[in-house]
Amino acid sequence: MAETGAAARAVDQDRLWQRHVEMARTGATPRGGVNRQALSAEDAAARNLLAGWAQRRGFSVSTDSIGNLFVRRAGSDPTASPVLSGSHMDSQPTGGRFDGMYGVLAAFEALEALEDAGITTRRPIEAVAWTNEEGSRFQPGAMGSGVFAGQYPLADMLQVKDWKGVALGDALAETLRAAPAPARSGCGFGLAGYVEAHIEQGPRLENERRTIGVVTGIQGSRRYIVEIEGEEAHAGTTPRAARKDCFAAATRIAAAMYAATTDADDTLRFTIGRVEVGPGSPNTVPGRTSFTIDMRHPSDETLDRAERELGAIVAGHAAPCTAVIRRIVAVAPTAFDPTVIDLVRGTAAKLQLSNMDMPSGAGHDAMHIARLCPTGMIFVPCERGISHNEIENAAPADLAAGTRVLVEVLAHLANR
């Protein structure tokens, strides 16, 4: 095995940055961010870009039945379970250039650095771009990794519809036509380990002047949709007493939920991110309303208690309309593998990079893969901790530093 540092020294900061610049052209928005929705034409463009780079380096490219995209660098033992590293290329509608994409490009740069350094590993190492991590077009998010890990049945996911009624299966077929790659059978295979690099999407590393976040785990996350039925009526002639105004009901329900989830230590995360009101005419009393809920906390018991309160609020505030709350996602808090955490911390120290242990407030594909194999994550700072925003920014040197830790950790796991 190469001495520690040979692979890290082969990481090319300019090449890594340039790949971010090229990828940011797919789905580029006027304000300098990206809108690269899952299984969109922009997603297909990013897939083709990555596959083209991979083929030029002699790596093999493949997809599985949910469209996860893999780039494989062979190991000396082709029968050995691979080590995997990656993240996602789909973005929020007003997303940044680094959320997800950094993890995919860092994994790809790791393959290139090993190649450039002439380092052979026993196990194959694969870079992966998971399908639909953001869940902003198709819910649930972290779908590709969730199907891979057996959390979500493929058949159910193929039938999920986006806000315009497009089925995921149709969008997937269209994407694989636009970005063809050899198909792996089914979805899921044995792994020897998984490490995901990601921007922190919070301010701690920057505030504490650390370069590497040694991620210990991911808080629990849940998603719901509240659907309220009222009665369309004339805005001018219908007295208040006769109305079944479902947006009025939605505001009562939402106000009560915000109050109920305002905890003293500001740890519970409660977000209403999307509201639909129908028929959407200024002079018709709304007859149907729906809104999404995203709720996060490190403790599943707290999430359970909050979930019961949300249900009680919906039941108690809907009249004279009717309302239901449906849970779409529940991912338990994830603790990463202690040996991988130690490996990330020890490698950062060997490379003389400042580092700190920290949990992840954001969800990542690693939360599903952690249920399959030893898993960990590496964070790097992002400017003012801003993410899910077009001004998201990161420094080339930090991206390269995280990649240096990543490639050394992957090489170690691939020879374990």
- Using the minimum distance from each CB to Mn ion, give the nearer residue, 121 or 132: 132
Q: How far is CA 15 from CA 53, 106, 112, 113, 218, in A?
A: 12, 11, 10, 11, 30
189 CA to centre of own chain = 20
The Cα 312–Cα 306 span in angstroms is 10
Contact between 390 and ligand HGY per CB under 6 A: no
The 96-135 site mask, x for binding ligand HGY (CB under 6 A), equals -------------------------------------xx-
Residue 312 CB, shortest distance to ligand HGY, in Å, is 26
Residue 110 CB partners (closer than 8 Å, separation 6+): 7, 11, 85, 125, 127, 403, 406, 407, 410
Binding of ligand HGY at residue 140 (CB under 6 A)? no
Contact status, residue 46 vs residue 181, Cβ threshold 8 Å: no
Residue whose CB is less far from ligand HGY, 33 or 363: 363
* Of 64 and 99, CB closest to Mn ion: 99
Touching Mn ion, residues 359-378 (CB under 5 A):
none
| 86 belongs to the binding site for ligand HGY (CB under 6 A) | no
Phi, psi values for residue 102, rounded to 5°: -60, -45
- Nearest alpha carbon to residue 394 among 195, 129, 202: 202
Helix (H), strand (E) at residue 343:
helix 338-350
Tokens of 101: 């994409």
CB of 387 to Mn ion, least distance (A): 7
Within 257-276, which residues bind Mn ion (CB under 5 A)? none
C-alpha span between 111 and 117 (Å, rounded): 10
What single-letter amino acid sits at 65?
Answer: S
For Mn ion, the closer of residues 95 and 286 by Cβ is: 95
| CB 19, CB 56: distance < 8 Å | no
Question: Is residue 362 part of the contact set for ligand HGY (CB under 6 A)?
Answer: yes
Closest approach of Mn ion to the CB of residue 88, in Å = 6
Q: How far is the CB of 141 from ligand HGY (least distance, A)?
A: 5
Which of 100, 230, 376, 402 touches Mn ion (CB under 5 A)? 100
Contacts with ligand HGY by CB under 6 A: the residue count is 5
- Minimum Å gap between C-beta 3 and Mn ion is 33
> Which among ligand HGY, Mn ion, none contacts residue 202 (Cβ within 5 to 8 A by kind)?
none
Q: How far is the CB of 373 from ligand HGY (least distance, A)?
A: 21
Q: Give the residue carrying structure tokens 């409660």.
A: 270
Structure tokens at 186: 């089914």
**CA nearest 409: which of 383, 382, 374?**
374
State the nearest-atom distance from the C-beta of 290 to Mn ion, in Å: 22
- The site partner of 381 among ligand HGY, Mn ion, none (C-beta below 5 to 8 Å per kind) is none
Least Å distance, CB 198 to ligand HGY, is 9
Is 99 or 408 the residue whose CB approaches Mn ion more closely?
99
The DSSP symbol for 173 reads H
The backbone torsions φ and ψ at residue 263, rounded to the nearest 5 degrees and listed phi first, read -85, 155
Partner touching 313 among ligand HGY, Mn ion, none, CB below 5 to 8 Å by kind: none
Of 117 and 362, CB closest to ligand HGY = 362
Q: Are residues 271 and 261 in contact, defined by beta-carbon separation less than 8 angstroms?
A: no
381 closest CA partner among 214, 216, 211 = 211
Number of shown-chain residues binding Mn ion (CB under 5 A): 2
How far apart, in Å, are the Cα atoms of 255 and each of 50, 134, 228, 270?
Answer: 45, 26, 15, 12
Among 90, 99, 162, 245, binds Mn ion (CB under 5 A): 99
Which residue is associated with the tokens 């610049």?
21
Distances (CA, A) of 46 to 62, 179, 223: 15, 9, 28
Q: How far is the CB of 102 from Mn ion (least distance, A)?
A: 9
Identity at 32, one-letter amino acid code: G
Interface segment toward Mn ion; rule CB under 5 A; list 26-34, 95-103, 349-357, 408-416: 95-103
| Between 103 and 193, CB nearer to ligand HGY | 103
8 Å CB contact between 395 and 110: no
Report what 141 binds from Mn ion, ligand HGY, none; CB cut-off 5-8 Å by kind. Answer: ligand HGY
Q: How far is the CB of 4 from ligand HGY (least distance, A)?
A: 32
141 in contact with ligand HGY (CB under 6 A): yes
Rank residues 141 and 146 by Cβ distance to ligand HGY and give the closer one: 141
Residues that bind Mn ion (CB under 5 A): 99-100
Residues that bind ligand HGY (CB under 6 A): 133-134, 141, 362-363
